[in-house]
Structure 1
Amino acid sequence: MHLTVIGATGMVGTRLVAEALHRGHHVTAASRHPTRYECPGARSLLVDTSSGEGLDAAVAETDALILSVRTSPGQEDRLAPDTARVLDAAARADVPVLVIGGAGPLRSPTDPSRRVADDKTYVPNDWRPLASASAAQLDACRAHTGARWTYLSPPAILQPGERTGTYRRGTTTLLTAQDGTSRISAEDLAVAALDEIEHPGVNQHITVAESLDPGLGASPHIVGE
């Protein structure tokens, strides 16, 4: 399978590229600064989601597109229109898109009537602009006509860590552990993302979190709610 990762030089993007190559896929690593990250085996491509530069080349002759981008502080309002621009290009090429979004649009596990973006238990005040931007990003996906997309929300905490190959999968509600924490490593998020690409589910909005049983090691992933 030929996959294109937009945002390939970011914390999540580098793990997505590595996981895809590990599974034997052909990978195009697309970003605004492709020289910042050299990954043997991947083809580098200049893509700017703000201007649209390189988007048609990114979706040409690829089987699936993974969008994993973030905005700088103060520029959060660019995330939704940039995502819509990517969906436009994907729709023209009839290529499915997996959007690695944010936890903001998920439902709070303690109050399903509230979004995580509005729950200070999971989103401190200084994170709220990005959380709200991710909610707007999902709205942009839902409003788009013609594109085939899936939105993957990470848990509240997403950091570099260990690749265990396991995770729990949910839909529209934030997944938490018994102590109330909600986290996953960027490496295991990449595992979940590539699983979704290889074996697409029926839900357009999904989420994942770390496995509750660390003794599972590298066994297949766990399906949650």
Structure 2
Amino acid sequence: MKIIIFGARGDVGRRLVKEALMRGHQVTAVVRNESQINDIPSNTNSIIGNVISGENIADLMQGQDLAISALRPPDGQEELLVPLTQSILKGVEQAAIRAIIVGGAASLKVPNANGHTVLTAPNFLPEAVVPIATACQAQFELMQAQDDVDWTYLCPPAMLTPGERKDHYRIGSDTLVVDEDGNSGISMEDFAIAMLDEAENPKHRKQRFTIGY
């Protein structure tokens, strides 16, 4: 499969590139500037793209089978998340390919919290992450309005951190996946596995899903 990955130099993006290459896919990694290309594996087609401008995004996607967006705005510019996602969605619509979007956990319900979500549950989120969680909620609402795009939105659990590749995970829909101790988390390595599993065997077209241990 030919896969183009936006945000390929980020924490999640790098792991998605590695996982896709391990599975034998042809990967095109999109980065913001030339200096970032050195951080991309040499057996990857690395290109520079300005997603926020929206220019030529569909051109970059031509000939691809799938676009994955692992884009995240810098701290203090969280409001850019929706425009970035809009550019990706416009590009995949014009290129007529499928998109998988790395989302956030903000819209997921918290177990035993009277219907509250990660964003609305009292005292659930540290203040420092409320801006990006708010942006992720808006991003999910944008996805729900997409009728003409073949999309999937993968929400991480409450904790998504670098770790080991355990090669297992559990799937949920609209509620945080928690373990027997009530913890909600997964390594970025296993998050990448879940993303590529969905890429290879689509089960959540025009749907949100989530994962966790």
The more displaced of 190-199 and 172-181 is: 172-181
- Shift in Å at residue 54 of structure 1? 4.1
- Shift in Å at residue 112 of structure 1? 5.2
CA contact (8 A) 1:84 1:141 kept: no
Corresponding residue for 1:109?
111
C-alpha change, 1:82 and 1:153, in structure 2 (3 Å) is same
Among 126, 132, 137, the residue aligned to 2:139 = 137
What is the rounded CA distance, in whole Å, between the counterparts of 1:49 and 1:110 in structure 2? Answer: 39
What is the rounded CA distance, in whole Å, between the counterparts of 2:34 and 2:2 in structure 1? Answer: 18
Corresponding residue for 2:77?
75
Instruction: Describe the superposition over 1:144-189 as per-residue Cα deviations: whole angstroms up to 9, x where unpaired.
Output: 3311110000001111110111111111111111222111000000
**Number of residue-to-residue matches in the alignment:** 210
Corresponding residue for 2:185?
183
Report sequence identity in percent.
Answer: 38
C-alpha change, 1:13 and 1:120, in structure 2 (3 Å) is farther
Q: TM-score, with normalisation over the residues of structure 1?
A: 0.89
Corresponding residue for 1:167?
169
Corresponding residue for 1:26?
26
Corresponding residue for 1:8?
8
- Shift in Å at residue 120 of structure 1? 4.6
The more displaced of 66-75 and 30-39 is: 30-39
In the TM superposition, what are the counterparts of 1:80-91 in structure 2 within 5 Å? 80-91=82-93
CA contact (8 A) 1:153 1:207 kept: yes
Q: Does 1:146 align with 2:148?
A: yes
Corresponding residue for 2:42?
40
SS in 1 for 2:128: helix
Q: Does 1:65 align with 2:67?
A: yes
Corresponding residue for 1:205?
208
Q: Which amino acid aligns with 1:50?
A: I
SS in 2 for 1:24: coil
CA contact (8 A) 2:105 2:157 kept: yes
C-alpha change, 1:176 and 1:52, in structure 2 (3 Å) is same
